[in-house]
Structure 1
């Protein structure tokens, strides 16, 4: 394909792309032309020429390696000053943003065309999924039963791989909408010129808006970033998702179909609750985050209630509300007259309008109270709603009354949308998860026991003795005498977190918090320690009336060793009488979190994928044996090395009979903006995710075939081989970590203002254990190794199959029949495609020990070729991504601009690291940080 140049048109009139170019390429050509115009008029001298010469030169190198040309291009880069380099990098970054917009616009347009055609929709749509159900004999009753069990829970997190500012997202949104207008409307020349001028103006603003943050974001900034997607996207499309599912059910099963779609979506967040390794998340931070969530929800509800009050102007003289509704108005009379100081005659003949004005006033009172508390003020405010359920009851009264008087169509519109929102978001908006590392709880419990007169030495106990001691303390009416003033600051803060949970549940609602996640869970006592700390805050315990528990604890198993012993830890926990009683009192739901990032960093992608698969089967089997509902929480990121990949396929690839209608997963870093910034894309992403959940949950209504045991055995063998090969490189090669630190921009990533969390658990510790999994993956992606996502796969498969053609045939059959194996190798293809060994080799210029670096790279390159060969052979393909040509083309488009960016980054790292003083290094820091942003934008799912 021909890639567009960033050329500026010499004419004063803006030019649309030629008619011979269609679809996404037409839009890319348009955006490239407009960006070229902006660069010509508003960039430094010759920036546009440099951008294009680098693009053309590195494209030529892709076609045929030429050391002389490469040297010439690097000489050109070396001759550029920091300011010019910054502008060149920014030009590439903006191009990637515009390319992403063009692809999103055209993806949306293609889906709309299918809808307009009236035929079967795309795989992953509700229409396609339910038609398949009906063809397979799934009845409306079975579908209803399945829907009643659904829980779809994306959890927003603030991991340090998202570089986009909210300001940038807003500009990109405006360009998206203008591009849609170009598609939607038949325009005359003057109208077209106007739209092109508006797009040009937005690109110009984007060019003059700094895409790198001046200051490192605070946690509250990250909270606001998460809230952006609700205000701009999710509030609008969540009701639409439900509406589309209802329509699909009627379309497939008939207009008289009685299938009712419950509100099964919930949204979670870690932003302001994840304190593991983040010293900036304090108890007061969590409190503030909860109130900011509540403020956003109430603001949206007030706007929608105000809108409804204008629309539902029914006169009591022309329609008769239900008796229950009229009774509620009578009950509100004192509030209307005294609290609101309203005239008795106002809206006297418009009952719904009167009711909605009262509803709005109550919400306003709640909003004022929340805002006062955010600012540390306590004011005497009128009574609002005690909780979201009371608000919902009023909405149900209005709905039921409208239906009773023959106005069901009015109830089905905006009122139903508001009800869906309240059922989904409550007053809490997102259920905030709390996360902390297990050692913090252990240290607090040790100190609490040590402060009690005559108490035993807790740390000297065996695991069995710890469980007994913890169980007795939890059941005791007064387990400890606590003088907070004598406790260490760390223990005081740990206790305060639980007190905040109890206080905010009482203030906002019982659904305010999701799970308390314990990272690095190694034993059952780690969970019971958290339960004891919750007991001290009144969140769990035993009263004369029996056990109670308002704390959902999710142990996180994230290393290979932890995943292997998940059944021992959870079995011990389930069989502990105290924990079993508390679990039963809380609804008998156990959440278990699985860590993709650390397990991959620890044992490699093959071992991680397989151990996660086995862990899911083990824990579901344990829970089923004891009659416990178990929800798996997948800690996945954007990259393959962190459990990423298409959501629909990822859900379908889970072990059979483990999803059970519920799935919870993290949405991390740049994935948030790619999936949720534009409502049109968010609608699609939620739809394919939910349809994947519905398909994966068929085990709830009918038996499903088990995976063949020989497939499981083969996978176990391959995974063991892959782990051995990975550990041999990462842990068995003395100079390997030096290689990682030197040939990736990790030192610069740590300085980039894209997240509040430090990149290392411990400063100045270069060990694999200290480096966080996210910068580990991010660094390898920047230098085009993408090593965590594929290393070890080629050797493992080659060793298992050897030259045996029958074994190759068996692997090919596994690929076509087993969704887990297919998804794993499909994702591997994407990672191999994004890796570029010739560019990765260029980063070796940064290594201090060149012979050692060359030796390590040779091993990496050999494994890359080995993995490439084996994956293509199993999939029966001639080239990577052949089965997904649209995605292949999308990735190819980026390479023309990624190649020069990587070489620019190498030059900048050389200069930055080569300067003698911090002041001299500062000259090169700005373009270096921009290069990280730019490559991340081009690679897309980098974190």
Structure 2
């Protein structure tokens, strides 16, 4: 009964928003656009029921009747519908969670998770063991880039908030005003161009990454900690919870401004800019919260008993800062906490002024009173906290002061740990140049063993190698400049401003030691009086199927290096190892990728365990299933048993940031689900877990082998396949949409599978409703392995029921299959220059689609895709009525634009075509 009521409420919200959109169109005098939208929907639905020339002609007539501007307006209406639908669905999900909680009782919440722990015998002391080293680290990246403009995201945020007011209010003047405001906001959205007029630069991407913190993440982070603390008390009792220490387990990372792999626009200067803008953002938040806190702590002398350490600190501040703060503090001389907070805020503002001067390139004053480190800022906040508790105001200390202290402990003065990423050959070339200039050694001619020995000796050279930097090639000078920036930025911002140095395309252990040698030349690594120091952590990234298979060899060679082990010990770091989902899936298909990643994780953990090395896995996940995407909670639980161990790091890419963090309460939910997934996956730290079933592993070996073979047969050995990709999808046109600073191909004019980036690969197939990278080979592998043997089908059903990895794999495949539409894909196949190629390749994809659907349903024992996830199935179904006509329009526009391009003329159809790309991405809720 509850579900029916909930669905009814959702339908009511959708009707309200849709009617508002219609009303706005009429108000703007766009009845013809409204009618065209309705005609396209009706006639497309008729075509899908009966795909005959008689049904196709009426639909074609509607399209041909519209000029470029009219098509653009129609597409914009479709796009706005998807945005409004997403608002209704997000609000509905939020309402459901509210109904389930007086505390925090929704599935996956902290309360729910701790109750499960308690029932399984995990006590409060064991929870403390889990918490001791807990780290949840999402890393924001600039790719795949968000198709929505920031202006549009802000408008959608306002719409969401107004809809929330309407949804929670009864009839009356307040509701009437909110409805009027909602209509005005939809009207404004229709007046705002969703397509960017220019390609964003790296600075724009940095700004986009920072956008979500003041919008939602600062407050969401505070509330996540509070909810956990309250749930500990609710589940384990106040006494047990009081003895537990919940560390600041949430940290955030970024690649924006640090990821230079294949992006020539990321320079050492942009890296410095990113760090300074991050520091500015967090200091501004501290200043804002200090104002609020000063307004609250109005205690007067004589009415509270200050601790002696607080009084001494305040006196020391007066002495040290004296005239600088005398005027600021004058109104608060009788109010000690306000007096202290005025001084604290002044020092934060001094830090802001210092950053502003550096951003402008101005000289800094000699008497800057900024905090030298976040540790001193935290010391002052904790000083106030202890003094408040000393005179019986612990409950007051637990309010805004507690939240500010949490944020300072979480974000420091750097906000996010900035990872740096570069491709391995850049380091190899730079090292070869340096060794040639310093020692006259031909590094390029050496084998791997000799390279490792030489690099170990060179890293240990006192003072670094001697060479003339000016004589080096410009690319090598720029590479060295980056390491110099890392050294200087650590001094300027703080030692935690950088995360790891990620090496993409790591093929050998020498690739890691090369980075260490470059770091040594800039003072990040070295030895003083026999004591080693290391201020950089290196994360090798394994991306392709071959790389995943070579992990054991590379790691063993790396850990056999005495120099590297010494540096790892000196840094006190875990060994972080990054796994690339995107390229491995593009390379060998979803089965080979998923299984290769699973086995790689197991091997990494085993290698590190044998050598007594702590490790952390860094998951390079994208937004779509074909790039490792999917629900975070389930993805964490699907990792190999006893491999997570309290820490996880993963990329948050593109549109995922918008859907998770554009609204504060959704951000709380997403962060909570990720952390509770981490807690559950880390239970092996406090109780034994069952190892993987060897029979399941053997079955997956076979399925992955067959799946990879069939995927490579299609993508690498099918004549005309790449022609089909470039002609039947809008991959080329996506490059003309201003959504990112990174080139869509690694090499211009190279149309090979290796050259196209995984982002463009997945994005283009999704646009043409052929999401096969996320499922191709699943049907063939299962059918081949079962081969009519019923006992094998039963074994797969057992694996689906009992093994989180296999269940997650097939659940994600279901989601991707549901987003495919082979009838629409046939329309795109008709764009191929050679019709026979189009029919042949399309036939292979469509045939495997049908086989996948049949076998997935059989293994999962359901009668339709997503039968066990009805809310997602309903969401996709609601979009289909609008997505289909959009796809049909896109095919027509692709044909027109390509005909115009062949004639070397500017096409009037390009702008509406780009709008369809935006709209379809919004409808499918992902770009790549």
TM-score by length of 1: 0.96
Alignment of 1:335-484 (within 5 A): 335-342=320-327, 346-380=331-365, 382-453=368-439, 455-484=440-469
2-structure distance, mates of 1:32, 1:61: 24
Which of 625, 629, 639 aligns to 1:654? It is 639
Q: Quote the residue 1:587 is aligned against.
A: 572
Correspondence 1:39 to 2:25? yes
Alignment of 1:184-203 (within 5 A): 184-188=168-172, 190-203=173-186
2-structure distance, mates of 1:861, 1:165: 35
Q: Quote the residue 1:131 is aligned against.
A: 115
Q: Quote the residue 2:609 is aligned against.
A: 624
Bigger drift between 480-489 and 191-200 goes to 480-489
2-structure distance, mates of 1:344, 1:731: 72
User: Kindly tell me: are residues 422 and 916 of structure 1, through their superposed partners in 2, closer, same or farther at Cα, counting changes over 3 Å?
Assistant: closer
| Deviation, structure 1 residue 63 | 4.0
| Deviation, structure 1 residue 486 | 1.5
Correspondence 1:162 to 2:158? no
Once the two structures are superposed, residues 747-806 of structure 1 have per-residue CA deviations (whole angstroms, 9 ceiling, x without a partner) of 110111000000000000011110001100000000000010000010001110111111
Alignment of 1:255-274 (within 5 A): 255-257=238-240, 258-274=243-259
| Deviation, structure 1 residue 45 | 5.7
RMSD of aligned Cα (Å) = 1.4
Whether the aligned pair in 2 keeps the contact of 1:638 and 1:671 (CA below 8 Å) is yes
Whether the aligned pair in 2 keeps the contact of 1:632 and 1:663 (CA below 8 Å) is yes
Q: Quote the residue 1:486 is aligned against.
A: 471
Whether the aligned pair in 1 keeps the contact of 2:82 and 2:922 (CA below 8 Å) is yes
Q: Quote the residue 1:885 is aligned against.
A: 870
User: Kindly tell me: are residues 916 and 169 of structure 1, through their superposed partners in 2, closer, same or farther at Cα, counting changes over 3 Å?
Assistant: closer
1-structure distance, mates of 2:330, 2:905: 75
Alignment of 1:791-810 (within 5 A): 791-810=776-795
The SS at the match of 2:717 is coil
Correspondence 1:239 to 2:222? yes
Once the two structures are superposed, residues 254-291 of structure 1 have per-residue CA deviations (whole angstroms, 9 ceiling, x without a partner) of 12223221110100000000000001000000000000
Whether the aligned pair in 2 keeps the contact of 1:601 and 1:788 (CA below 8 Å) is yes
Whether the aligned pair in 2 keeps the contact of 1:911 and 1:921 (CA below 8 Å) is no
The SS at the match of 1:384 is coil
Q: Quote the residue 1:89 is aligned against.
A: 75
Q: Quote the residue 1:871 is aligned against.
A: 856
The SS at the match of 1:124 is coil
Q: Quote the residue 2:537 is aligned against.
A: 552
Whether the aligned pair in 1 keeps the contact of 2:830 and 2:838 (CA below 8 Å) is no
User: Kindly tell me: are residues 402 and 110 of structure 1, through their superposed partners in 2, closer, same or farther at Cα, counting changes over 3 Å?
Assistant: same
| Deviation, structure 1 residue 44 | 4.6
Which of 531, 535, 539 aligns to 2:524? It is 539
2-structure distance, mates of 1:133, 1:344: 50
Correspondence 1:220 to 2:203? yes
| Deviation, structure 1 residue 323 | 1.1
1-structure distance, mates of 2:29, 2:266: 40
| Deviation, structure 1 residue 919 | 6.6
Q: Quote the residue 2:679 is aligned against.
A: 694
2-structure distance, mates of 1:593, 1:654: 14
| Deviation, structure 1 residue 21 | 8.2
Which of 144, 149, 167 aligns to 2:133? It is 149
Which of 562, 572, 590 aligns to 2:557? It is 572
| Deviation, structure 1 residue 76 | 1.4
2-structure distance, mates of 1:160, 1:807: 39
Whether the aligned pair in 1 keeps the contact of 2:144 and 2:622 (CA below 8 Å) is no
Once the two structures are superposed, residues 610-663 of structure 1 have per-residue CA deviations (whole angstroms, 9 ceiling, x without a partner) of 000010001111111111110000000010000000000000000011101000
Correspondence 1:254 to 2:237? yes
| Deviation, structure 1 residue 67 | 3.6
2-structure distance, mates of 1:734, 1:484: 49
Total equivalences in the alignment: 921
Unmatched runs of 5 consecutive residues or more in structure 2 = none
2-structure distance, mates of 1:731, 1:481: 48
Q: Quote the residue 1:524 is aligned against.
A: 509
Q: Quote the residue 1:107 is aligned against.
A: 93
2-structure distance, mates of 1:480, 1:925: 55
Bigger drift between 102-111 and 158-167 goes to 158-167
2-structure distance, mates of 1:321, 1:859: 78
Bigger drift between 482-491 and 330-339 goes to 330-339
Whether the aligned pair in 1 keeps the contact of 2:200 and 2:738 (CA below 8 Å) is yes
The SS at the match of 1:877 is coil
| Deviation, structure 1 residue 845 | 1.9
Unmatched runs of 5 consecutive residues or more in structure 1 = 1-18
